[in-house]
Amino acid sequence: MASLTAPGPADTAGSGAAPIRRIRHRHGGTRTWLEIVVFVPPALILFIGFVIVPVVLAAVYSFFNLPAAFRWDMLGSERFIGVDNYTRAFSTPEFRKAIANTFFILFASLLVQGPLAIGIALLLNRRIRGRGVLRLLIFVPYVLAEVIAGLTWKLLLQPNGGVNAVIEGLGLGFLRQNWLADPSIALYTIFFILTWKYIGFAILLMLAGLQGVPKELAEAASIDGASWWQTQRFVTLPLLAPTIRIWAFLSIIGSLQVFDMVWVTVAPTLRQMSTETMATYMVQQGQFAGQPGYGSAIAVILFVISLVIALAYQRLALRRDLAGSVTRGVR
Amino acid sequence: MMNRRSIQRVVAGVAAAGLTLGALAACGGESADTASPGTGETGEGTETAAAEEVTITWWHNATSGPLPAVWEKVAKDFEANNPGVTVEQTGYQNEDLQRTLIPNALASGDGPDLFQVWPGGEIRDQVANGYLMALDDAIPDTIAAVGATVNPWQVDGATYGIPFTFGIEGFWYNKDLFEQAGITTPPSTLAELNDAVTKLKAINVAPIAVGAGEKWPAAHWWYQFALHSCSPETLTTGAADFDFTDPCWVDAGTELVDFIASEPFQDGFLGTPAQTGAGSSAGMLANGQAAMELMGHWNAGVVGGLTPDEEVPEFLGWFPFPAIEGSAGDPNAALGGGDGFGCAADAPKQCADLLAYIMSEEVQKEFAASGSGIPTVAAAQDSLEDQNLKAVAEGLSQASFVQLWLDTEYGTTVGNAMNEGIVNVFADNGTPEDIVKRMQDAAATL
């Protein structure tokens, strides 16, 4: 807010005779309106044009049977098929598998990456030699573009690639796998790469959260005779909970959207066999199988699932953390 | 006096507004027609076109090998012979061009003038949408020179694209490895092929490499079994009416299942790419890890590109897909496809002239001599120097019936469903009946 003493030109012009402007923004007429008129439309136009309209259009398309060479005037009655695209989606084993794969990634991320990130963050939060370097190294994968990381791992995980060479070199030849070409393990391989890529971000968030935990509490606990483990369990973790909840939210959203890593890393056939996610299935069917209507239905299903999960999570888990910011509007 | 924060806000607001306006301007910015009236017309003005300033954008799929240089020269020569015409040619990776770039450009109404046109289902959709220029009146002689090969690029009797190359699929094989395994003549029946597989396993090479990581190289196996199991009449009704009720379509899958069960392919074939890298099926053939690969007429160039010296290896040979004993299929039927160009409906008329030039005997001969593929103009076929291309061209001339790649023939929707069903069979995750059912289900959504 502008300072209370220096009179602004717009102000004097706007509220005219009002001598005290402490509560200007409550009934400050012209200036407030000017701000609204100038600042809101650009954001609103972008948001409507690039978010709302596409969502609505996808919903419309999803009720039509559209060919690959799609034209606007095809949205006529003879191509209207009601909810057929939706019933088809849910009765297709491939799509059910894609949902299952997506939720596997979602829950595995929460259950594996969360504890791992908290553990590593607790370790890195202590005084150890080379802490800065360690923190940097852990964060590097997150900085890489997902496509580059995916292609790098794709090369390393070839049958004659680096990973198998290392395994062989360690004398563990029996553990050799065709990591990305074996339908029974490809999804786990993808999950490993995703963990490698995103654990750094989780650790960084947890470290930031740990900075907010007052040292006095840990000191008090240790004076009371608590061990290091007890201090973490009963003092640090509860105070880290808001950070964990926010990280979990970001992780859930990211998991529902997994696309690039699967698309660039896994060969199309293998993707169809074992690693299809909701997003890759949507692009495959909508774009490459030439069925924009069906693809739109998948997009709407993905949207609804994400929306329900996000809203439910905000309501149930993030309620306290977001109180006063998102859930109740501005104040 | 504005404080710092409100200045920041104004700057941000202006930036956001500018961004929006820019975006809107870009959407509405249909520039005026690039062809401006000629300014410097001299002489009798017999050829008004010569003075017109026209730019023709040309998208093709030549990104490696000798072909990009051929097209570059074509563009330059055409510019030189047609003053005022600028040809902007660009090569894109084939699948990106076919599946993403061209469909999106055409749908947006701002596509290239001359571009790769795929026959079968795709050209039918594009014609239905009015995207393509009918060429019959503009360049009839060019169309006549290609003969019956142009048929797949015709819709309802009108020609919308002209193939500059056409070839058939067969086995690319390593002659040295065949000799080592004691195979004297290339297999001409399925039984002989199975026999060759057994002999090649004995010398510890992968008998056949298949790039099943991508769907189509696997799918081509089923196409071949269908081609050699179904009569030409059944194949034609299948393409025209999407009628796949004849039992031969299921037989094709059963034969494929039996063939896969004999383990003729390399280990981990479900993850093997087809054409890129040493680990691909073409790469395995190039470096002697595999003895055979079933692949289209373009494969010599691909294999050549994957050898250490980037030369087509001496040991490479070609033979057609063998006949299946006791089936209704025509033993001399071949599966093939080609690359063709067409003009956009709103392209300048010089586009057809450029296409006619590309199809001229002179350019077709250069195309053949470069080893890029088999030309479609008969007079140019003598210019083929590459032994393997000559073999494929001979196979093509001996074929009694040429079926277009089935996924191309049926179009994206049915073709994709078919390929998904076939790779499921490769992964032991589906049945022969399932392939046919998927095709019928997909056809029902059209």
What are chain A's domains?
Answer: 95-322 (1.10.3720.10)
Q: Is B7 on the interface with A (CB under 8 A)?
A: no
Confidence grade of residue A8 (pLDDT, cut at 50, 70, 90) = very low
How do strand B290-295 and strand B206-209 relate by DSSP bridges?
parallel
Q: With 90 as the cut, is the pLDDT of residue A135 above it?
A: no
Q: With 60 as the cut, is the pLDDT of residue B168 above it?
A: yes
Q: Is B276 on the interface with A (CB under 8 A)?
A: no
- Are B134 and B155 a contacting pair, CB within 8 Å? no
Q: What is the mean pLDDT of chain A?
A: 86
Q: With 90 as the cut, is the pLDDT of residue B96 above it?
A: no
Comparing C-alpha atoms, which of A280, A282, A283, A286 is closest to residue A70? A286
CB contact under 8 Å between B429 and A2, yes or no, is: no
pLDDT at B39: 38
* Residue A5, C-beta contacts closer than 8 angstroms, at least 6 positions apart: none
Q: Is A312 on the interface with B (CB under 8 A)?
A: no
Radius of gyration over alpha carbons of chain B, in Å? Answer: 25
Q: What is the mean pLDDT of residues A104-127?
A: 92
Q: Is A26 on the interface with B (CB under 8 A)?
A: no
Residue percentage of chain B with pLDDT more than 70: 88
CA angle B54, B57, B59 (to 5 degrees): 160
Q: In this predicted structure, which of A274-283, B302-311, B354-363 has the lowest mean pLDDT?
A: B302-311
Greatest mean pLDDT among A32-36, B212-216, B325-329, B370-374 lies in: B212-216
pLDDT at B128: 87
Q: In this predicted structure, which of A159-163, A221-225, B21-25 has the lowest mean pLDDT?
A: B21-25
**Which chain B positions have a beta carbon within 8 Å of A41's beta carbon?**
17, 20
Q: Tally Cβ neighbours within 10 Å of residue A241.
A: 13
Q: With 80 as the cut, is the pLDDT of residue B416 above it?
A: yes
CA angle B351, B353, B357 (to 5 degrees): 115
ipTM, interface predicted TM-score of the complex: 0.78
Q: What is the pLDDT of residues A257-298, one digit of tens each?
A: 999 999 999 999 999 999 999 999 999 999 888 889 999 999
Residue percentage of chain A with pLDDT more than 90: 56
Q: What is the mean pLDDT of residues B145-150?
A: 87
Domain coordinates in residue numbering, chain B? 54-167+337-392, 168-336+400-444
Q: What is the mean pLDDT of residues B337-351?
A: 93
CATH 3.40.190.10 fits B168-336+400-444, yes or no: yes
pLDDT at B83: 92
Give CA separation, A181 vs A120, A276, A280, B393, in Å. 31, 14, 17, 36
pLDDT at A325: 57
- Are B112 and B58 a contacting pair, CB within 8 Å? yes
pLDDT at A12: 41
Q: What is the mean pLDDT of residues B417-429?
A: 94
pLDDT at A7: 43
Q: With 70 as the cut, is the pLDDT of residue B308 above it?
A: yes
3-class SS of residue B290: strand
Give CA separation, B130 vs B107, B125, B155, B341, in Å. 11, 9, 12, 16
- Are B423 and B212 a contacting pair, CB within 8 Å? yes
Q: What is the mean pLDDT of residues B182-210?
A: 95
Distance CA A314, CA B384 (A): 69
Q: With 50 as the cut, is the pLDDT of residue A149 above it?
A: yes
Confidence grade of residue B264 (pLDDT, cut at 50, 70, 90) = very high
**Which chain B positions have a beta carbon within 8 Å of A45's beta carbon?**
20
3-class SS of residue B293: strand
Q: With 60 as the cut, is the pLDDT of residue A153 above it?
A: yes
Q: Do domains B54-167+337-392 and B168-336+400-444 have the same CATH topology?
A: yes
Q: Is A13 on the interface with B (CB under 8 A)?
A: no
Q: Which of B23, B218, B413 sits opposite A68 (nearest CB)?
A: B413
CB contact under 8 Å between B427 and A288, yes or no, is: no
Distance CA A4, CA A31 (A): 16
pLDDT at B28: 38
Residue of B nearest to A291 (CA): B413
CA angle A329, A14, A10 (to 5 degrees): 90
**Which chain A positions have a beta carbon within 8 Å of B99's beta carbon?**
287-288
Optimal mutation site among A262, A269, A272, A276, interface B, most CBs of chain B within 10 A: A269
**Which chain B positions have a beta carbon within 8 Å of A268's beta carbon?**
213-215
HEC letters along chain A: CCCCCCCCHHHHHHHCCCCCCCCHHHHCHHHHHHHHHHHHHHHHHHHHHHHHHHHHHHHHHCCECCCCCCCHHHCCHHHECCCHHHHHHHHCHHHHHHHHHHHHHHHHHHHHHHHHHHHHHHHHCCCCCCHHHHHHHHHHHHHCCHHHHHHHHHHHCCCCCHHHHHHHHCCCHHHCCCCCCCCCCHHHHHHHHHHHHHHHHHHHHHHHHHHCCCHHHHHHHHHCCCCHHHHHHHHHHHHHHHHHHHHHHHHHHHHHCCCHHHHHHCCHHHHHHHHCCHHHHHHHHHHHCCCHHHHHHHHHHHHHHHHHHHHHHHHHCCHHHHCCCCCCCCC
Residue carrying the six token digits 């009918």: B134
Tell me the fold of B54-167+337-392: D-Maltodextrin-Binding Protein; domain 2 (3.40.190)
Q: Is A32 on the interface with B (CB under 8 A)?
A: no
Give CA separation, A160 vs A20, A70, A177, B274, in Å. 77, 43, 10, 17
